């Protein structure tokens, strides 16, 4: 085991933030991402000093190992998700995860790649598509390197990323400026607090959906709610049934969102997808295991 004074330790540990950012995008869970990074470093330090010194690029080695661990987890996650109670929504975060580097303009931006809408699209991909796309389009790794991680040819990895890119493009709405998204979410909050069904309906797209994740640990609708009227009436009814619930505007995965609190505890985090002046999708995370990083600090 190394000591803090060992040469190269700072360089090795500086990769941690990027590795967590990569693993979170691949797995949709910060807790799982941290486990992956811990296992990656354990494997690094399990090698002899001679073997570590022989590694030309420790950062590339760590990325390769972390990506392969994620690929294995994604393959097994399919079965786990089938046993999950209700819908599975990625773990919401109070702000984006930094990745430590900028990407070319023709690739997905790092802020966009941590948004809830993007993460949900990633969930629809095969494990190989997801890894190839995130490594290449988000983090800028060449297909030759991706091939060594995924275990396929560079040409096959190019096809995987291309397929994933089409999924993202097809699922991406027209979008709205950040200031407009914040205004729409703020209007939704005020209409919800006022119990104004008519105002809520006006803020929702005709094809709007709500997906809730309680994980079987707390109550949550098991199937998506569809349509402005159904969503608005459910929201008002819920606020009326849960005494003492307050809403705060917070940044959720880099986008305007809401946090529901009761007695000082965060009981739900809501992420929104906004197109134009209307909300198209709402993801409501109630699973307490996914809310551990949330506090009732200042709104951001």
pLDDT of residue 65: 97
Say how far apart CA 198 and CA 192 lie, in whole Å.
10
Q: Report the share of the chain in percent with pLDDT over 90.
A: 70
Helical residues (DSSP H) of the chain, grouped into ranges: 9-13, 16-27, 30-46, 49-53, 58-83, 116-123, 127-133, 143-150, 154-171, 178-194, 197-203, 228-241
pLDDT of residue 68: 97
pLDDT mean over 218-236: 95
Residue 171, pLDDT score:
81
Residue 101 pLDDT greater than 60, yes or no: no
What is the model's pLDDT at position 19?
94
- Torsion angles phi and psi, residue 235, rounded to 5: -65, -45
pLDDT digits (tens, 9 = 90+) for 266-285: 999 999 999 989 999 999 99
Q: What is the mean pLDDT of residues 40-63?
A: 93
DSSP string, 39-61: HHHHHHHHS-HHHHHT-S-HHHH
Tens of pLDDT, residue by residue over 1-16, are 444 434 366 778 788 9
pLDDT above 60: residue 111: yes
Q: How confident is the model at residue 97 (pLDDT cuts 50, 70, 90)?
A: low
User: What digits encode the pLDDT tens for the residues 170-225?
Assistant: 887 666 788 899 999 999 999 999 999 999 999 999 999 999 999 999 989 989 99
How does pLDDT run across 131-167, given as a tens digit for each residue? 999 999 999 999 999 999 999 999 999 999 999 999 9
Report the length, in residues, of the chain.
300
């Amino acid at each position: 085991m190394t000591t803090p004074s060992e040469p190269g330790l700072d360089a090795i540990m500086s990769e941690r933030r990027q590795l967590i950012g990569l693993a979170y995008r691949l797995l949709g869970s910060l807790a799982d991402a941290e486990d992956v990074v811990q296992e990656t470093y354990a494997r690094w330090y399990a090698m002899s000093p001679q073997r570590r010194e022989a590694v030309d690029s420790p950062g590339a080695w760590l990325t390769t190992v972390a990506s392969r661990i994620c690929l294995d987890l994604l393959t097994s996650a399919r079965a786990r998700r089938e046993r999950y109670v209700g819908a599975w929504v990625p773990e919401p975060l109070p702000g984006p995860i930094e990745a430590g580097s900028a990407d070319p303009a023709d690739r997905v931006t790092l802020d966009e790649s941590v948004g809830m809408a993007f993460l949900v699209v990633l969930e629809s991909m095969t494990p190989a598509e997801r890894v190839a796309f995130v490594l290449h389009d988000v983090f800028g790794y060449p297909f030759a390197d991706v091939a060594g991680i995924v275990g396929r040819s560079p040409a096959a990895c190019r096809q995987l990323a291309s397929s994933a890119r089409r999924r993202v493009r097809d699922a991406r709405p027209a979008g709205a400026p950040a200031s407009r998204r914040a205004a729409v979410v703020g209007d939704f909050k005020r209409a919800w607090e006022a119990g104004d069904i008519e105002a809520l309906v006006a803020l929702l797209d005709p094809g709007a959906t709500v997906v809730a994740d309680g994980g079987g640990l707390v109550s949550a609708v098991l199937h998506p709610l569809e349509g402005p009227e159904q969503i608005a009436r459910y929201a008002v009814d819920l606020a009326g049934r849960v005494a003492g619930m307050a809403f705060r505007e917070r940044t959720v995965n880099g986008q305007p969102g809401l946090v529901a609190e009761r007695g000082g505890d965060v009981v739900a985090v809501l992420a929104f997808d906004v197109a134009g002046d209307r909300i198209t999708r709402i993801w409501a995370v109630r699973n307490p295991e996914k809310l551990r990083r949330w506090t009732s600090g200042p709104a951001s």
